[in-house]
Structure 1
Amino acid sequence: MKTQIFSTAEIDQAASALAKGELVAFPTETVYGLGADALNEAAVKKVYAAKGRPSDNPLIVHVADIETVKRLVEPLSEGAQQLMATFWPGSLTMIFNLKPNVLSKTVTGGLTTAAFRFPANETTLALIKTFGHPIVGPSANTSGKPSPTTAQHVYHDLHGKIAGILDDGATKVGVESTVLDMSTSQPAILRPGAVTAAQIEAVIHTPVATEVHQVGIKETPKAPGMKYKHYAPAAQVEIVNDEDWSAALKWAKKQSSKVGVMATTGRLTDLTLPSNVEVFSLGKDVTSASHLLFAGLRHFDDEPTIHYILAEGFTPKNLGLAYMNRLKKSAGNVFFEP
């Protein structure tokens, strides 16, 4: 299969491919998603095959209006409607109880709930409206690898496996949406993102749970990223705390091959870097670091001589919580130890 790159002027062609049951990657403000008709079970199955994704890992359904969600789910609570009014379109995914038999179990992982998102990307909203159906949209990468933030990242992983990629340039946020479970008595964040618990609580005036148990091997996760390995390059990533950089670079200097270093510009300026270190700047702060994290991991993944990546850690608060969630998963929770 030849994978076509669609420009933003070719939305009709991208929608036509979706209508034929093909897969088309699409941009959001967070990462690129892998789109298929959410109401076409055969098309949805192709998503799992193209990504190498476990079949019990449910998919997020992307919509271009709230009415679509209302047709598919049980009546929305007042809190859910307030959150939609505040954060949609945007980087908040919400899980709701479904009406009977409205979505295939291939979409839901066999659950009676589904996750919905109204992305803040005009190109993709135009695609969904032109197509006329909601589309599923897991990250458009090989399962377990760093998420794609450019069309080129998608092409690297999936060319020859999907019909097309709708190219709208680099994404703006860089880490996936916050996933909020609204199907339970207490709302719970299952995956942190740019929308924080404090922001959600300020809208619904209800405590939001943030400590979610690890999903067991026989359990089906309600949201992506809860059970399987994610965001991992071929090299071993090690997270470096502030006080350990000097020791980490001494260790790096002793390695027989190049070592990757991902850190903010201020951090890189302060460090004395050995000659065998290759750097990737994460910008000036946690906002830019979150935006560039996956791009940095992919940068080093293209260099087979790099077996270790030292990455700057941040305080797990607000956006730093989302950054550290993704970085810990990519590192297998490994921190550099002097």
Structure 2
Amino acid sequence: MTQHLTWGILGASGFARKITAPAIHAARRTHLKSIATRDPSKAVPFEDLVPGLRVESSYDAILADPEIDAVYIPLPNALHTEWSLKAAEAGKHVLCEKPIGLTTDDLDQLIAAREATGRLIAEAWMPAHHPQWQRTRALIAEGAIGRLHHVTGTFTYALGETPNIRLSQALGGGGLRDIGVYPIGAFRLATGLEPEPLHLDMEREEGVDTKTWVAARAGEVRFDFHVSMRAARYQHMMFHGTEGTLSLPAPFNPGVYGEARIIIAREGADVQVIRYPGIDQYVAQVEAVAAHVLDGEGFACPLEFSRGTQAVLDAIFDRAEG
């Protein structure tokens, strides 16, 4: 059995250039061999990163390469399911940007393809691979803040005024699909609960959501979150229990937005701060793919988890349309 994974990238997106390609290059037991783009000039920064990188003019050329074990897909949202299916059917393991599908029906297709092909198909939801979230889940489960009462989450950024695929309805744009998956997924990962949206306030531009406030409930636990592409950059998650609070000031992009920390405050006790310096969750994500494929280790963000988050998004969109 091969002891490393050889990767190809379908598309020279800015995110792939700045974040994921460097992560693949830095990760252990991985090798970035190829990138596919119709514009050779977009491949230049990737070639600077990986001397000898092969540049293909079509995605199919990468899928046809027998030396490629895994592909990373950073295409527009509306193409994620299509090319994930094509890649798996071509015998490649798949790490696809979020959202990997636009509906739960898409996720069901992907799960069926994973079972039929025996290939990993996974959404690139990187918080699942960061130890701050693994510790958060354990702390809540062991009652570190008592019985959970209320959870709040926020993820916002200011989208520029230039044309942007995040404002394209045809390409699956919108704030919920771009960043709503983070507070929803974080709530589900940390608590093991499935929230039901009860009330929402949504603002749209060009047919896609740009600002959304959601009030949800999972049994006795309330969950309120806000995402926006038209507000100053900010992110935070807070878990409020009967005996204290647990908060994460850089829950989704630690290292880029701020230091990964878990802050636990209990009445009558010193505030406890657990720090995670120097961890690159994107490298951890790529290494988790290698560990799953090469060693048979479990994967922290299987499609079933992604489907659960998509089910919440589907319910939000249904309520918005209703």
* Larger relative contact order (Cα-Cα within 8 Å, sequence gap ≥ 6): 1
For normalisation by structure 1, the TM-score amounts to 0.25
What TM-score, normalized by structure 2, do the two folds share?
A: 0.26
| Bigger share in strand | 2
